[in-house]
């Protein structure tokens, strides 16, 4: 993605209450992506539901006030943000924490300290998956529209066929009467 114009770059929202982590992640991502940052859950939800939502969210779990789990839950409950992929980026390395995050709807779980190459690869992969899922949704909508058009055409043809049959039966009946009268 390094060759894309700024306007075409995907937007990543990094959510972490630690300023050093925000700087680290911003510096890592800014060469390939537009980066937005939020130092807490409330701000993250506000940015995510804005007119220009992020394409992906990197979300810390352990934050004061609203933790990452609650942020993820609210993102997934909101129709405006439910399709934004969330990757937890956290120091919590227990399998139970990972399970909980994935069950809440996160697409991935990366533990700190991070490997920059792993973070970049996972971000790239999940953005590609999001793009494919979005295209699939669009194609399904287009296909559903085409099915409706075909069904409407089919119904119109059925009605016209019934009308043709009715007229045919009427003509045959009139010809039959005409033949009977001429005899």
Q: Is residue 17 situated within a structural domain?
A: yes
Strand partners of residue 12: 35, 56
If you average pLDDT over residues 107-135, what whole number do you get?
95
| CATH number of the domain that residue 28 is part of | 3.40.50.2300
If you average pLDDT over residues 138-153, what whole number do you get?
96
Domain that includes residue 98, residue range:
6-137
State pLDDT tens for residues 36-79: 999 999 999 999 999 899 999 999 999 999 999 999 999 999 99
In this structure, the strands spanning 34-38 and 11-15 are parallel
Q: Please state the φ and ψ torsions of residue 90, each to the nearest 5 degrees.
A: -150, 160
CA distance 183 to 180: 5
Q: Is residue 180 situated within a structural domain?
A: no
Query: What pLDDT is attached to residue 2?
Result: 43
Q: Is residue 43 situated within a structural domain?
A: yes
- pLDDT over 80 at 110, yes or no: yes
Residues 134 and 140 sit within 8 Å (Cβ to Cβ): no
Residue 59: closest CA among 92, 34, 10: 92
Query: What pLDDT is attached to residue 72?
Result: 98
């Amino acid at each position: 993605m390094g060759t894309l114009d700024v306007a075409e770059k995907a937007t990543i929202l990094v959510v972490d209450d630690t300023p050093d982590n925000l700087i680290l992640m911003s510096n890592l991502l800014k060469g390939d992506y537009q980066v937005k940052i939020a130092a807490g859950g409330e701000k993250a939800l506000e940015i995510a539901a804005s007119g220009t939502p992020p394409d992906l969210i990197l979300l810390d779990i352990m934050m004061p006030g609203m933790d990452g789990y609650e942020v993820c839950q609210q993102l997934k409950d909101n129709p405006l943000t439910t399709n934004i992929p969330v990757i937890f980026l956290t120091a919590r390395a227990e399998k139970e924490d990972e399970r909980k995050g994935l069950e809440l709807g996160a697409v991935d779980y990366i533990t700190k300290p991070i490997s920059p190459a792993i973070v970049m690869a996972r971000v790239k992969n999940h953005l590609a998956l999001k793009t494919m899922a979005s295209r699939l949704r669009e194609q399904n909508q287009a296909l559903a529209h085409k099915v409706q058009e075909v069904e409407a055409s089919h119904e119109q043809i059925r009605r016209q066929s019934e009308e043709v049959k009715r007229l045919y039966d009427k003509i045959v009946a009139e010809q039959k009467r005409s033949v009977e009268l001429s005899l």
